[in-house]
Amino acid sequence: MTTKTRRGVAKVSDDGTVILTAPADGVGGFRWQLELPARVGTLVRRQQTVAGGMGAGSEATFVVKVDDPDGGPVHLVKKRPWEQQPIEVLEYKLSRD
């Protein structure tokens, strides 16, 4: 299985938080996990929003309190809990601009 990686920039808000979201398909046992270097900040909240019934799409939302936006990239990793290899990685560089 090949991992698909996408990169982007996420803006840190005036209150020092950043909100990261990732689309989920609701099937297959895949979940989004946050990989956050300790010096970047801390996870404040994680939420899974389901849009509809069984098998419907959903969205994973992570709210991070940022201490050091230059502390390294933040990753959202989509994988099954029992597998090592992710199928998708979203890599974010944090910016205050």
Tens of pLDDT along the chain (97 residues) come to 688 999 999 999 999 999 999 987 767 888 899 999 999 999 999 988 766 666 566 889 999 999 999 999 999 999 998 999 999 999 999 998 7
**Are 77 and 33 contacting, i.e. CB atoms less than 8 angstroms apart?**
yes
Q: Residue for token digits 């959903």?
A: 58
Tens of pLDDT, residues 26-54: 678 888 999 999 999 999 999 887 666 66
Length of the chain: 97
CA distance 93 to 54: 34
**What residue segments make up the domains of the chain, in order of their start?**
4-95
CA distance 23 to 49: 10
CATH 2.60.40.2020 corresponds to the domain 4-95: yes
CA distance 69 to 89: 19
